[in-house]
Structure 1
Amino acid sequence: MTDRTADPQDPRPLIGEPLSLDLLNTRWAGTPVNDLLAEPGGYAVWLSSAGLAGRCSADEAGLAALREARAALAAAVGDLDREGAIGAAAVAGLNEVLQHGRLRRELGPAGPASHVEVDAPQRLAAWLAVDDFLALLAQGPHRIRKCAHEACILHFFDASQNGRRRWCSMAVCGNRAKAARHYEKVRG
């Protein structure tokens, strides 16, 4: 899709997941919950990390559309976590975002080409994120997972060969869980 190099100003603990989950992970654990999209400046950082800064401008309309897409993705992933399938309300939310764009395919001089067309440029990042989610679903909804650490709210796409990834980051949440188990073993 695009080159993705994390913006040095990006404070999130998990960066580099597929675009849809990267958007979902703009909220992460904290008291209160950290939200990169609370301000337009955070939206600009996310666009930069997502490789979309050259295609999308960080304005209020784009931020509103992206928050709408994030809410739709959160509902869909929440349904997958709880029920193993996406419910009707979440499907409607995803389709609401998708109705603002389409993928146009054509045969050009260089061969087949695809172009995203949106009804307003501010909707491009939101549409791309939800379209990416559809691609993840096609690869296997069971691979879209919430981190197994009870205090973590991050999600990831399990691309491991055996499909057994449990943590958003072994270095962070995995080690916390191991340390907690060790502490309980020593104490108990």
Structure 2
Amino acid sequence: MSDPRPHIGEPLALDLLNTRWMRDGAVQDLLTDTDGLAIWLASNGLDHLCPADDTALRHLRQARDAIKAAVDGSPKEAAPLVDEVLAHGRIRATLTADGPGEVPEFRSPAWGPAWLAARNYLTLLVTAPDRIRVCAHEACVLYFFDTSRNGTRRWHSMATCGNRAKASRHYARAKED
């Protein structure tokens, strides 16, 4: 089955947050069952890490809630939630034929996707925390990492939410005339 979400391809942590989206005024959730988990794992190339079972689903939902709390609320208050997910894995330094490397290791394979998403959130915080954004459209709940040159992107997609906002402003101006 193909990924039904309207916006994919964001960094892993934000792609996990985008497993919830709005359609026709109702919240949709890809992670309601293991079928949705299988779709998300495959969409992110993580289907080799663990089976799409109830345990991995529970861990991934925990990571999604922790990352959402950190992005939407107080990072200080959410830190223990993210740390709880991160406690289930680590990075092992290695030396490969190509030079230094890092290998993620997990207490259990079922923690792998959740841990990688939480770790990716830390990477985004180090890279550019001010570029982690929620779409500016009032009816959208999607997140994106602003990669625009000047950092002023407002919509997860100009083609959808940006155009809706422009059309809404145009309609409001037309009503005033």
TM above 0.5, yes or no, is yes
Describe the SS at the equivalent of 1:127: helix
For 2:14, which of 18, 21, 26 is the aligned residue?
21
Matches within 5 A, 1:103-122: 103-122=91-110
Structure 2 partner of 1:149:
137
Q: Distance in 2 between matches of 1:115 and 1:139?
A: 20
Structure 1 partner of 2:162:
174
Structure 2 partner of 1:51:
45
Matches within 5 A, 1:1-188: 9-30=2-23, 31-79=25-73, 86-88=75-77, 90-188=78-176
Deviation of 1:45 (Å): 0.3
- RMSD over aligned CA atoms reads 1.2
Deviation of 1:113 (Å): 1.9
Deviation of 1:109 (Å): 3.6
AA of the residue aligned to 1:16: G
C-alpha deviations, 1:95-140, integer Å up to 9, x for none?
0000000000022344212111100110000000000000000011
Describe the SS at the equivalent of 2:75: coil
Describe the SS at the equivalent of 2:117: helix
Deviation of 1:56 (Å): 2.5
Q: Distance in 2 between matches of 1:92 and 1:45?
A: 29
What TM-score do the two structures reach when normalised by structure 2?
0.95
Q: Distance in 2 between matches of 1:115 and 1:55?
A: 13
Q: Distance in 2 between matches of 1:108 and 1:17?
A: 29
Describe the SS at the equivalent of 2:140: coil
Deviation of 1:29 (Å): 1.3
Q: Distance in 2 between matches of 1:142 and 1:109?
A: 36
Q: Distance in 1 between matches of 2:144 and 2:49?
A: 25
Number of equivalent positions: 175
Describe the SS at the equivalent of 1:34: strand
Structure 2 partner of 1:5:
none
Deviation of 1:179 (Å): 0.5
Structure 2 partner of 1:3:
none
Q: Distance in 2 between matches of 1:171 and 1:51?
A: 26
